[in-house]
Structure formats: structure tokens, C-alpha cells
């Protein structure tokens, strides 16, 4: 069995040592055994878990969601189909809400750019973006 120190693990997973400690503290990875000298010794399985965590984060999953995904992934004969369906539906709704927020932000920025005078940069009170944000014109309906 190959064991990795925390720095070797971090390097292999392309994360910081602090990230490994954080994942351990949050319960995303198991607390590893220690050598007599007190060094944590992580398995290659932990490296695979960290890579999965990072990929899931890049896809937009929260650490709590990832914790649930890891439990399901690691439990051989357990796959809660109904729960996964609900989770997927909920995530789709969350993504749609985020898309709406981003479209609203894009609208505000386009309005700020299109409303700008030829004299750039405008003074702070005349800046279209500052006016939009301060006057609460944040809806594009």
C-alpha cells in the first residue's frame, strides 16, 4: 500500500496543504493514520477523493453536496435513485436561478456601458453603473 505525506498528497492533487487539512476538518476525507513521528499518511484513495472533490467544486457543487455525493460514491451497494432525482431537479433549479442572476448582471452592465457619455470616465455621481446600483434599477423585466 502506497502512503503519501500531506505535502505529497497536495502536490499530486494540485491543491494546497491547507486545502487537504480543510477537507479533513470538514469530513470530506478520512482522518489518516499517523506515523510514530506524527506525520499523516494518506492513501491513494484519498488522492482520488480529493480529485473528485475538486472536479465537483469546479462543476458548482457545494462542499455539503459533495459530502453526500462521496458517501453515495463510496458505498458499493447503495444508490438512492429517488434522492438523486430530487437532488438533480433541485440543482437544475439552482442553476437556472444563477443563469437569471447572471443575465440580469449582464443587462445592468450593458445598460451602464450603453448609457455612458463619450466623456470617459464619468464622474462618480454620473457613472451609469453606480446610478443603476444606487437607485435599485436591478431588474430587467
Domain ranges of the chain: 1-79, 80-141
d(CA 124, CA 74): 55
Tell which CATH classification among 3.40.50.2300, 3.30.70.1400, 1.10.1660.10, 3.30.70.600 matches the domain 1-79. 1.10.1660.10
Give me the tens of pLDDT residue by residue for the chain, a chain 141 residues long.
689 999 999 999 999 999 999 999 999 999 999 999 999 999 999 999 999 999 999 998 999 999 998 988 888 887 888 888 888 899 999 999 999 999 998 988 887 777 665 556 667 777 777 777 787 655 554
d(CA 140, CA 117): 21
d(CA 79, CA 76): 8
What is the value of pTM for the model shown?
0.70
Q: Which of 136, 134, 117, 113 is nearest to 125 (CA)?
A: 134
Q: Is the dihedral of CA 120, 122, 124, 130 positive or negative?
A: negative
Amino acid at each position: 500500500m502506497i502512503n503519501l505525506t500531506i505535502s505529497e498528497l497536495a502536490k499530486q492533487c494540485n491543491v494546497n496543504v491547507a486545502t487537504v487539512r480543510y477537507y479533513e476538518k470538514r469530513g470530506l476525507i478520512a482522518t489518516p493514520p499517523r506515523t510514530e513521528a506524527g506525520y499523516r499518511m494518506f492513501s491513494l484513495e484519498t488522492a482520488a477523493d480529493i480529485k473528485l472533490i475538486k472536479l465537483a467544486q469546479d462543476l458548482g457543487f457545494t462542499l455539503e453536496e459533495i459530502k453526500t455525493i462521496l458517501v453515495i460514491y463510496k458505498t458499493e451497494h447503495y444508490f438512492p435513485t429517488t434522492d438523486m432525482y430530487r437532488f438533480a431537479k433541485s440543482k437544475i433549479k439552482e442553476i437556472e436561478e444563477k443563469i437569471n442572476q447572471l443575465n440580469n448582471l449582464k443587462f445592468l452592465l450593458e445598460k451602464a456601458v450603453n448609457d455612458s457619455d463619450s466623456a470617459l470616465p464619468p464622474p462618480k455621481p454620473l457613472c451609469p453603473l453606480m446610478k443603476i446600483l444606487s437607485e435599485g434599477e436591478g431588474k430587467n423585466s
